[in-house]
Chains A and B, each alone.
Chain A
Amino acid sequence: MIRRHEPRDDRAAALDEEIRAHIAMATADRIARGESPDDAAAAARREFGNIGHIKEVTREAWGGMWFERLRQDTRYAWRTLARAPGFAAVAILTLALGIGATVAMFSVVNGILLRPLPFKDPNRLVLASYGLPRSLFAPKPGMVESQYLAYAEHAKLVESVASAGEHHVTLSGSGEATRLTGADVTPGLFGVLGVHPAIGRTFVDDDAEGGDAVIIGDGLWHERFGGAANVVGKPITLDGVRHTIVGVMPPAFNFPFNAKVWSPIKIVINPHESRLRTVIARLAPNVTPRQALAEVTAIIGPMPTPFGQNARFNPEVIPLRDLVVGDIKRSLYIFGGAVFFVLLIACANAANLLLMRATTRRHEIAVRVALGADRWRLIRQVLTESTLVAFLAGIVGLAVASAGVRALVSLAPPGLLPRADDVHIDLAAFAFTAAVCLVTGIGFGLAPALQITRKNLGSNISGTGRAIAGSRGALRAGFVVAEIALALILLTGAGLVIRSFLQLRSVELGFQPKPLVAMTLDLPAARYKDATAIHQLQDRLLENVAHLPGVISAAAVNWRPLGGALVKGDFKLPNEVRPPDGMNLSKPAITPGYFATMGIRLIAGREFTKDDDARSTNVAIVSKSVAEKLWPGRSPVGQLISSSSKPTAKDWLTVVGVVDDVVQGSVREQRDEAMYQPIAQINEPFFLNHISVVARAANDPGSLATSMRDAVHAIDIDQPVQSLGSMTSLISSTIAEPLFQARLLAVFSLCALFLAAIGIYGVLAYAVTERTREIGIRVAVGASSTAVVRMVVGRTFVLAIAGIAVGWIVSLELTHVLSSLLFHTKPTDPATFGLVGALLFLVALVATIIPARRATRVDPLIALRNE
């Protein structure tokens, strides 16, 4: 009996024997019928048929043949590649670049967007909101206290719910005082998220009833407590009040608000003060956000609103991921698209290499066809080879990717990428790489495979292997055109984003950021209770800073331009004159000398002086567009304006000057219309306790920063400095995301350009080799080297122009996806299109140089002798 699963080699041997026996018996029969032994053997063989073919079709009946074939094909492909190391190296490296970039980008996207948040069942976590429509004044989703309590009590579709509010605290005591972001949270928050402390405990309900429990984050634990295990129970001073540490959260836990410290809070309804608080809910299993939304509306809708009768509401249920991932999503998708283009170009290159090789292998393929290999088998062979190349490239690509991931993350300005710690090459990346390899392998192999195995190859056996530029040449040319087009599209996208970034950078700010140093302080209310205390501190501080060596002048402002905070409000005009609809003013309070220090142009009237103090007439300075809108054709100096909603006599401010408009909120927006008041005439601590000192440096702003910090601590050692730096660096941090986009797209498009150049070079170099004989003949009959160069370069011209034209057309359709990223730049910006087209054309020409030179050196005698 034959065993079922005998080794394949044994079965193959058995089949051989079976066939041998068949032929032997047929021969014996023929001899018995009187044929001569030789004739009989030959006839039996002939009658039996193509032994190789019959073996193969029989083996197919065994099943599991695909694996056997794959093994054979792979071994064959490996040998083929080893025989052409040049081709293998170029194809593998080209693809490795594309695959590496793709995997690196995937790892970033995976870490930030796809990998689950570090919470239990994160897909069931949502933010529930019943806020005002998002606007400048209601930037975050949330609920006020009464709504939260009602929701927490009545919601049936949620398993648990918690609330959190952001607050800033000053940490003092050991070491330098620091301003920290903290969260006051209902004790259940950690349970809702399903997170556990690294050491100690999370909050219990009693913590919110009084007491001094706080939980600190891993970062703070290491910075302030040296990571000591006995930190639980230790005191910590926040806003001058002593608290006790009850727990430490694990590394990377900073939810919500990137908090470093958490305090417990009990939500109560205070009729005089309601605050929009973030509400985090864990949905019950199988509840959709849509159902949850209906419930939010049903519970809160009927409640009296805290925002006034006519307010419009915006109930929302937002998956938590959206909040954590935020706006970076769009950028990442665009980068994903860009990297896909790079991969496509790499594939086109590899496909072209394969096609070129196919031409030299035509003889071999023709022989195989003649020996009975069917077309499908040959196609599979080519595909195995291309997939093998892709997998080898994948291995190199993983190395590229692991370096690339670090590079990508480091290209991002600090703090821009949420969850940047989660970005690394992991199992998912490996699986993704394998999938990419398989798809690219088949993808770039398919067209060549179909092309190579086309019919009528039989004639190639007798041929000399000399190529005729036919349809295969057209396919190659098509690939080159596609590569140029893809590179052009990518470069255009990058060009647009870079141009937009340059536009952002060159926005006229209305002040001179160089060489300014800005230092921002948040004065804790516990220590600086009233305006007098704040004014005193500020006067002393300005005095000290103004006398620092290297300081030309110094001034203070409550909300500095581009400081991340913007206070805007309405205003009144005398005699019941109504201000234009929707006109709001930014209202900075400043010290004398502010405009000079900032380099803001004084257009009319005067600056504030020391005499504009609490005892003198209340005055204001307005910006240019305010003056033009409110008092067109009249002198603004001497006009009255008030920021009070019901002005009494002392609330009227006399305009004493006009200055230029300044970008206050964001470089992306219009310059703000502003009304300045002297700090000395402001009394509400709310308008005073956030303060920036700006100093114009004589030369190096860097060293000045340190001495300014010292100046603060000379006055109050416990006062933290919230931000400090040269104005230019502070401004660039506000355009960090566009910078990241510009950098990343630039990198990808350079990859694309490089690959496209290689592709063009490869095709032309091959074309020259292919046409050596033709060129030889031309030279022999007297063609000048100029004519030869023209012949080679002419081909590039055609390909490049076709590629650029196609790329332009597609770009016109595609670049609008960028429009939301672009600032003062049209997605069809002709300058960018033109420049990029010219660049690609130039690169194409450069790629021609070597092949063209080689063409001029063709020796007609040698070329013809090759026949």
Chain B
Amino acid sequence: MKTSLRRALLALVSSLLFACATIPPGTQPSEADPWEPMNRAVFAFNEVLDEYFLKPITSVYRFILPEIVRDGIYNVFGNYNDIYTALNNLLQGKPALAFNDFMRVMVNTIFGLGGLLDVATPAGLEKHKEDWGQTFGVWGIPAGPYVVLPFFGPSSVRDTFGTVADIKSDYLFTYVKDIGLRNSITALRVINARNTYYEAGSLLEGAAIDKYTFLRDSYIQRRAYQVNDGRTTDQEPLMPPYENPYE
């Protein structure tokens, strides 16, 4: 049953890949995105998946659960993710930040009712977000070409390996023995993640001239910024200073 479902999905993905592996005529090739035809096909698949599956489920989730419960769920997963942020900060050679993140987990677990409340932020322990992709970036591995992953969305070659490492090192994802429990937790995590941009999603639809390009260019910028911990805006701007050459 499970394999047949997987096969059906695989067939759907691959047929989409071959069916519409084209880019809109007139699109300027982007240096960062040499695999644009394939990426656009996967993007289209993800969009359909979101429209008919993930988004409807999330709206039911929002209908059933009051905001305070959703916030609690968000905080619990956030608290759990802080453990991995601490780990990655350590791997990136930032022990002070790692200690900050570790303290966040302690404070929120003990004083925040097991992570339901984020009491560490108001207490002055700033929240960070670090993952394996960023760690690889700090180690000097370039992002490589842009990649859209089925289900996971925007990524790069480096961040694809990062995502694999994230999953492999994730306790809830990899080491929970009870499959039913593990799947339930994963489903809740996915819905929680989708819920965080539920309202923003429609704003983005309205603002985008071409959503694919918009997300791609934003993703590439954002990841560079994250790897540098935002320092680029401090010393040298991500974009060179403007000289107004167009007027």
Asked if A and B bind, the verdict is no
B positions within 8 Å CB-CB of A: none
Give A contacts to B, CB under 8 Å: none
